[in-house]
Structures are given as structure tokens and as C-alpha cells.
Structure 1
Amino acid sequence: MYKAEFDKHIQSKSVSNALVFFGESAFLIDMYTKMMTNIEDANTLTYYYDEYDFNSAKAHLSQASLFGDRNILIIKSEKKVNKKDLETLIALCEKNPDNIFVYAYYGSDHKTYTKAFAKTKAMNVRFFNPKEYEAQNIILNLAQQKNVKIDKYSVSHLLNTHNADVALAANELDKLAVFDREITTKDIDNVVYGLGEINLEDFMKKLLEKRDITEDLQNILEHGEDEIRILTTLTSYITQLYMFNIYIRVNGAPNALEILGYPAPKFVVDAKANQSIKIKPPVYYKLHELLLDSELQMKSTHTDKGAILRSTLIRFQKIL
């Protein structure tokens, strides 16, 4: 089924206690997983990706609930879990209505789960990327939950800042929560740095590849980008790469959910990972030192910001 039909089941309180979530929108998969498992005093066990162990998962759903608590099992994975494993876990939920099992599949093989487990009571839900009006409503509802005062126009501006990426827009609400008033588009421009913007993304890739960025920088500035915003966006980008670098050095492979806080497409994760390992940790330190010093100089002096930015970018490429 699709999101609309599943929402009707939620409204009529006819949701199964065994759920399989999959599809194009990792954000919606995450959101509905939290919604369906947010039960007070529940005995919850969550597996992320390679942590999954069938025997302990089965034992969790098989054990008797203590003091009337409910047993909840959540499996989040980009890899497909063995079908027989899933059938066993679903069967345990059918035997005990107090159990809840959610399998959140973030992979791309959507056909596998479209009609799977038809002979069981499990509900398979495919989540597509939300349309513009759906994305706006999602952000508005989340904003209301976080007591962030924002109207539809500003929400639309926030989503546009992040190229309609609902996950990135949702993450910005915590930053905007500091304002005890109605959020304006100017607040968003001042607080939110649109890392999803293609022009800055391409610009930073060229910068890291030590290519000539003179013309690109001129175009970006002519289109109204602020020098400080370009610098802070670059700092955020380098920080993200450093997080990838550290995680890969410790664990051997990247995990977007743990690094970024949300799942990301494989091609995005691979690109970030490949970029991150090309830079050594001492170089990251020098780059951060340069960028933070330049930002402080821009904010504390009346020197030409454009000149500071150009000088910083030249020194940035020399450090690489």
C-alpha cells in the first residue's frame, strides 16, 4: 500500500503490529517508524544495518513482557534481511498482539516488498518522496511540535534552500527554535546554510580539486551570495567531510545515518566518503583554522569581505 492508505489505517486504528516500510523517501520511512514505535515504557530493541542478529531478534519478540510492557523490535537496513527471518518475526507478532515489529528497508529493491508477506497480517508500505504540498505540511507539523512559529511561505523558502530535501529542512527547525517570534525568510537566510544548493556544491568540489574557481566565485557573488555565507557553508562542508573521514578510519566504511543523522542515497555517501579520505587529519585542522580565522576577520573588521574571501580560498587550495 501507499502512504495515503496507511494514513487511513492510522486514523481508524486498524494498523497491524507487523510493518514493512520501504520506498524512495528515507525521511518518511524514519518518521513513520518513530510514529509507530513511540510507546511509553515499551521494551524496545533496535538494530542498525550490520548489527542485525536473528537469534537475539527472535528472542526479544518471544520473551514474556515484564510488568505488562510491550516488546518492540525495529530493524533498519539498506541490505535485505533474509525473507524466512522476516516471516518468523512477523509470525511472532501474530501470536502476540502486544508485540510490534517494524522492518525499515532503505535499499533500492522496492519490488521485493511490494507484495511480500501477503498471507500474513503484515502491512507493506511504500513511501515516495513527498510532493511540494506534502513536504510543506510535514515541515509545518514538525514546526508545531517544536513550537517553531513559521508560515507556509517561509516553509517553502526553507525547502527551496535545501532543494526540497525534507530531511535537511526538518533538521534546521532546531536552529530556528531559538526565535521566540514568527520566523521570516531573512531569519532562514541568516541561520540556515543551504548545503543542498547545486552551485555552491559544485563550487566546493572544484575548490577541493584545486581547479580554477575564479569565474565560478564571481558568478556566485553576482547572484547575491554573501561572502560570510559562502565561508560558513564551506566550513560546514569541510566539517562534514572530516566526520566521514573519522568514521571511516574507525569503522572501515561510512554510515550516513550515524554520520549525518539521516540516511542518504548511496551515490551521495560514496562521493562524500571518497572526498573525505583524500584529506589527511592534520590538513583538516589547518583548513578549519584558516576558515574560522577568516570568518572572524570578516565579522570584526571593515576590510573588504570579497578580498578576504578570495585570499582565503587561495590559501585554502595551497594547504590541500
Structure 2
Amino acid sequence: MYKSELDKHIQNASISNSFILFGESTFLIDRYTQILTNVPDASVAKFYHDEYSFKPAKAHLSQASLFGDRNVLIIKSEKKIPKKELETLIESCEKNKENIFVYAYYGDDHKTYAKAPAKTKTMCVRFFHPNQGEAIFTVSQVAREKKVNIDNQSISHLLSIHNWDVALACNEIDKLKIYDRAITTKDVDNLVFGLAEVNIESFINKILNKKDFKADLESMLEHGEDEIRILTAITSYITQLYMFHIYIRVNGAPNALEILGYPAPKFVVDAKASMSIKIKPQTYYKLHELLLTSELKMKSSHVDKGAVLLSTLIRAQQLL
């Protein structure tokens, strides 16, 4: 199923107690993992990336909960859980309706989880990158949850600052809580720093044009931006350029609505089209491989994320 179907089940209180969340949008996977497991006083076990181990995961769902609390199991990983282990965990969860199990899969093998395992009530949900309307709606939901009064025009402005990255935009909502009134676009400009202060497209273009980017990177990190978020923003941008590249090769000219899913100003389209053609297909492949490998390294081990990010961007310039 898709996000809209899951939303209806949540609204109608007809959801299952076991879920497999996957797809293109890591932000939405994370958001719905939080929504589905938001149970007060629950006994929660979390296994992130390389931490997953079958025996303790199964034991958590099988054990009697202390004081009658509910047992919640969350597994987040780019790697697929062995089929038999996943089925056993789902079975253990479904034996007790009070349990909740969420498997958040961040890998790219989406076909494997398109259907729920046989004889289970597991809800398999695929999350796509939100289009412009969905992005505005999602940020507005987060704003309401955090009691921030902001209209769709100001949300759209906030998203445009962050190149329509929903995760980055939602991360800014807390900054806007200082105003006990309706938020305006001017408020957004005054308070939003980080990737807003150093325009992400300008930063990425410095990398792509082999210019010195270190001062911009240092500024973003000083303003509290997370290294992984910066890296995923760059990956997203490179992916967009590749989509432009392929579309232009097939059709001869770019079409933002078909490529991005929303209309964009002509100067933005022209700039991305021009840059996209300069990069060879094989280079796109090498860049994606580098960026994704570095992201996995940041997530799966105790490393200096700043050092990994810097070395990755220097390597990326060497590939261009």
C-alpha cells in the first residue's frame, strides 16, 4: 500500500500491529515509524543498522511486558532481514495484539516488500518522495503538532530555501516556535540559518564546479546542520541532475513538471539542465556510489562524520 492508504487506516483506527516501511523517502519512513510506535509507557527495543540481532529482537516480542506495558520493536536497516527471521518476528508480534513491530527498510529492493508475508496482517507501505503539495502538507502537519502557526505560503517559502527538502524544512519548525503569532515569510528569512544561510544549490554548485567549498561547509556545520542531512541533500541534488540528463538525452529539452513533479522557474530549469549535461553518465554512477557508501559509513559505525563528509566531497570533486 501507499502513504494515503496508511493514513486512512490510521484515521479509522484499523491499522495492524506489524509494519514494513520502505521506499524512496527516508524522511517519511522515519516519520511514520515514530507515529506508529508512539505508545506511552511502552517497553521499546530499537535496533539501528548494524545493531540488529535476531535473538534479542525475538525475545523482546516474546517476553511478558513488565507492569502490563506494551512491547514495541523497531528495526531500522539498509540491509534486508533474512526472510525466515522477519516472518518469525511478525508471527511473534501478531500473537499479542498489544505488541507493535516496525521494520524500517532503507535499502532499494522495493519489490521484496511490496506484499506482506503470507498469512499475516502486516502492512507493507511504500513511501515516495513527496511532491510539492505533499511536501507543504507534511510540513504543515509537523507545524501543527509543534503548535507553530504558519500558513502554506510561508511553508512554501521555507521549503524553497531548502530546495524542497522536507526533512530540512521540518527541522526548522522548532526555530519558529519563539513567535507566539502567525509566522510570515520575513520571519522565516530572519530565523532560518544553516542550509538557508548558505544556499544549498550554491554550495553544491561550488563542489560541481571544483571551487573551494570548505568555508560554506564549516558555516553550515557551525549552525548545527547534521552531516548526514547535508550529504543526503547533495545526493538528492545529484539525482535530480541525472534525471535532467536522461530526460534531455531522450526528449531533447527539459520539462520540470515531468522531471521534478512540480513547475520550477525557467532560470532554475536552465541552470540544472546546463549542469546536468556537463556530467557523464559513468560519472553520475561513481558519484552516487561514493555518496551512498559514505552515508552508510556515517550511519553504521562510530566515525568522525565531519571528516567523512569532507573527504567525500573532496573525492567527489576529483571524480568530476
TM-score > 0.5, shorter chain as reference: yes
Is contact 1:17-1:99 (8 Å) kept? yes
Residues in 2 aligned to 1:104 and 1:59: alpha-carbon distance in whole angstroms: 19
Aligned to 1:111: 111
Is contact 1:241-1:276 (8 Å) kept? no
Change (3 A) 1:260 1:97: farther
Give the one of 277, 292, 303 matched to 2:311: 277
Matches within 5 A, 1:173-212: 173-193=173-193, 194=196, 197-203=200-206, 206-208=210-212
Residues in 1 aligned to 2:173 and 2:225: alpha-carbon distance in whole angstroms: 24
Aligned to 2:148: 148
Structure 2: which 5+ runs fail to align?
Answer: 237-287, 296-306, 314-320
Aligned to 1:94: 94
One-letter code aligned to 1:197: I
Is contact 2:294-2:312 (8 Å) kept? no
Moved over 4 A (4+): 238-244, 259-262, 264-275
Residues in 2 aligned to 1:236 and 1:150: alpha-carbon distance in whole angstroms: 27
Aligned to 2:275: none
Task: Tell me how far 1:209 sits from its aligned partner.
Answer: 7.0
Is contact 2:116-2:122 (8 Å) kept? no
Is contact 1:204-1:234 (8 Å) kept? no
Aligned to 1:221: none
Aligned residues: 246
One-letter code aligned to 2:212: L
Change (3 A) 1:234 1:179: farther
Q: How big is each residue's C-alpha offset from its partner over 1:247-297, in whole Å with a ceiling of 9 and x where there is no partner?
A: xxxxxxxxx48x9899x8776455686552389xxxxxxxxxxxxxxxxxx
Matches within 5 A, 1:10-29: 10-29=10-29
Residues in 1 aligned to 2:10 and 2:62: alpha-carbon distance in whole angstroms: 26
Residues in 2 aligned to 1:243 and 1:166: alpha-carbon distance in whole angstroms: 15
Is contact 1:18-1:121 (8 Å) kept? yes
**How high is the TM-score relative to the length of structure 1?**
0.68
SS at match of 1:109: coil
Task: Tell me how far 1:208 sits from its aligned partner.
Answer: 3.1
Is contact 2:20-2:102 (8 Å) kept? yes
Task: Tell me how far 1:235 sits from its aligned partner.
Answer: 3.4
SS at match of 1:111: coil
Change (3 A) 1:3 1:118: farther
Residues in 1 aligned to 2:199 and 2:81: alpha-carbon distance in whole angstroms: 32
One-letter code aligned to 2:204: E
Residues in 2 aligned to 1:241 and 1:188: alpha-carbon distance in whole angstroms: 17
Q: How big is each residue's C-alpha offset from its partner over 1:134-153, in whole Å with a ceiling of 9 and x where there is no partner?
A: 11111112112212121110
Residues in 2 aligned to 1:271 and 1:261: alpha-carbon distance in whole angstroms: 10
Residues in 1 aligned to 2:224 and 2:9: alpha-carbon distance in whole angstroms: 42
Is contact 1:46-1:74 (8 Å) kept? yes
Residues in 2 aligned to 1:12 and 1:278: alpha-carbon distance in whole angstroms: 46
Change (3 A) 1:87 1:172: same
Aligned to 2:220: 237
Q: How big is each residue's C-alpha offset from its partner over 1:192-211, in whole Å with a ceiling of 9 and x where there is no partner?
A: 2426631232225634379x
Q: Tell me the percent identity.
A: 54
Task: Tell me how far 1:118 sits from its aligned partner.
Answer: 3.6
Structure 1: which 5+ runs fail to align?
Answer: 211-230, 245-255, 280-320
Residues in 1 aligned to 2:231 and 2:35: alpha-carbon distance in whole angstroms: 21
Task: Tell me how far 1:156 sits from its aligned partner.
Answer: 0.4
- Mean alpha-carbon deviation: is it higher for 31-40 or for 140-149? 140-149
RMSD: 3.1
Aligned to 1:122: 122
**How high is the TM-score relative to the length of structure 2?**
0.68
Aligned to 2:75: 75
Is contact 2:44-2:72 (8 Å) kept? yes
